[in-house]
Chain A
Amino acid sequence: MLPATAVFHFPWEIKSGAVQEGEAVRTFGRWVFYVLFLLYFLLVCYQPEESKATLSAQHASKEHNVVIHTLFVEPFNPIIGAQYVVLGEIENAEGVGVMVRARVLNCVDGVNVALLQKAINEQRSFFRERECKQHDAAQPADAT
């Protein structure tokens, strides 16, 4: 079986609730949010004994930290201060808070962050535009 789609999300969208509005599936008494590609976090700390890494990103003069569960991607070469992209599921485990269970953790140090952000926004605005158009096209049909 294929895993669910991982949609691009910016790090600061994880805690703000934008992702939680997505497809939430309740399994094993724990909230699991299928989705996501997390972006260009800087690796700030890694605790191999607990399989936990902390990534951080700056946005709107605030620092956003996200805890990554790295059990599935070990062993990997942690470079403190490098940029990473994460693909995985968000879990809202009790006691820990929001945590991302990584399926893919790629080091993309040197990525053009501004351009990547632009590309993601471009893609989002394209889909938004198209939905608007489809909505507009559907509406007159409903009215008649």
Chain B
Amino acid sequence: MQTAAMDPADEPSSMLWGLDPMFSAFARLYVKDILQMTESIQVPGIYFYNSHPVYKVDVLGTVVYKREREDFFCYGVDDGTGVINCMCWKSALLKEDEGLGKSSEHLAVPQGGFNPVAELKKLRQAQQSRCHLEIGELLRVRGLLKTSRQEREIMASTFYKVNDPVMAVQIAWMMEIPQLYRECYDKTFQLQPSATGNSTISTLSKATNILKDFFQQRSVTRFRPYDVQDLLQPLISSQTQTASKDQEPVAGPSTCQQLRQLLKEVLVILQDEGIVYRKVKSQDEVYHVTAQDKNLLLAVKDVIREDSKREKYAEKGCHILHILSAVRQKYSLNVSKAALELVLKSLECNSDIVSTSDNYYIAF
């Protein structure tokens, strides 16, 4: 088994391994690839497939070699691409059974009744037959990878015989693995999508998060756009700094205009999400923060409590759209469905209201 040594500099830092979803999964790799993966220089027992850190695998294949020792079985498993050794420890249950076989014979079996001892014996026999494989039988094995005496092997954590008389399991497996490779194993793992992604999108999401944090930390109930405009200033200046390095500032939009544009977009997002809403649409742009608006909370609660008393809603509760129209009539025309959903969620968390089924709410 010859594998090209990986430059330590090429290895992803061990700090980041856990972020790769493949790291914590039993990778269904072809045996051929398992044998060819490079071992990590930083931590032995970790291998790299296409820069993905892998330390446990899931394999299905035919047993082509078998050796039994007192404590373990050693199976050579062939999946059609390669052969790998699997160390399968005998479980304590399995070993106990050998001794138990004689002693349990003289136990009386009550006629027709449920005999736990006999049932347990059956269970053990079933387990034993699943762990005891002959050459030519199909084995499914999951376990950690290890290299000992320059041979790569699987230390099985789970293994069992697969009954596959018409090859249905094998066929399904063979069809699935190329898909897995195409969809995840062969794709390079990108740790910082935002670093390479569209910078305007990330600025927008950063700005949204800044405002959300600000509302929460300061318990803002309402604000006007120019109150929060300064919060977004650092985002704009950092953007223009990076841009000005590359090119001369042509007659583009001024910083102030950019800032206003950004704020406008952020407010649209926040309104769509229901985080903020405008109680009254007038010249004076006042935004209310939904979560902090006690009056809205009370209004919604009142609507539900009142209508829950009516016979029509008493059993099933009020539908969200019914609540929405009532709140719009009684409180403000501009409450959005998203904002109402947020309010309902917080009321439900406080047990002020109860949801009877999807989108139906009731208050007692």
Contact = CB atoms under 8 A, between A and B. Distances in A.
Interface of A: 2-8, 37, 73, 85, 87, 103-112, 115-116, 118-120, 122-123, 125-126, 130
Which of A2, A104, A125 has most chain B Cβ within 10 Å? A2
Given A87-B136, A104-B64, A119 B83 contact: no
Interface of B is mostly: mixed
Interface in B105-145: 135-136
Contacts of A108: 165-167
A5 B167 contact: no
7 contacts: A2-B84, A6-B62, A112-B171, A116-B167, A119-B171, A126-B178, A126-B182
Contact of A3 (B32, B64, B136): B64
Contacts of A85: 167
B214 interface: no
Contact of B64 (A6, A73, A120): A6
Interface residues of B, number: 28
Interface in B64-122: 64-65, 76, 78, 80-85
Given A104-B62, A123-B178, A130-B186, A110 B165 contact: yes
B175 interface: yes
A116 B169 CA distance: 11
A64 to B, nearest CB: 20
B145 to A, nearest CB: 16
A120 B173 CA distance: 11
Contact of B181 (A8, A111, A126): A126
Contact of B81 (A7, A73, A106, A119): A7
B76 to A, nearest CB: 4
B186 to A, nearest CB: 7
A69 to B, nearest CB: 15
Contacts of B174: 119-120, 122-123
A112 B135 contact: no
B5 interface: no
Kindly list the 3 A-B residue pairs having the minimum CB-CB distance in the complex, ordered from nearest: A104-B136, A126-B178, A119-B174
B83 A4 contact: yes
Contacts of B177: 123, 126
A90 to B, nearest CB: 16
Contacts of A7: 80-81
B43 interface: no
A101 B170 CA distance: 23
Contacts of B165: 107-108, 110
Given A87-B136, A126-B178, A130-B186, A2 B83 contact: yes
A111 B294 CA distance: 67
B9 interface: no
Contact of A106 (B31, B32, B84, B136): B136
Nearest to B174: A119
A2 B153 CA distance: 11
A37 B167 contact: no
Contacts of A8: 80
Given A119-B171, A126-B181, A130-B186, 7 more contacts: A6-B80, A103-B136, A106-B136, A108-B167, A111-B166, A116-B171, A123-B177
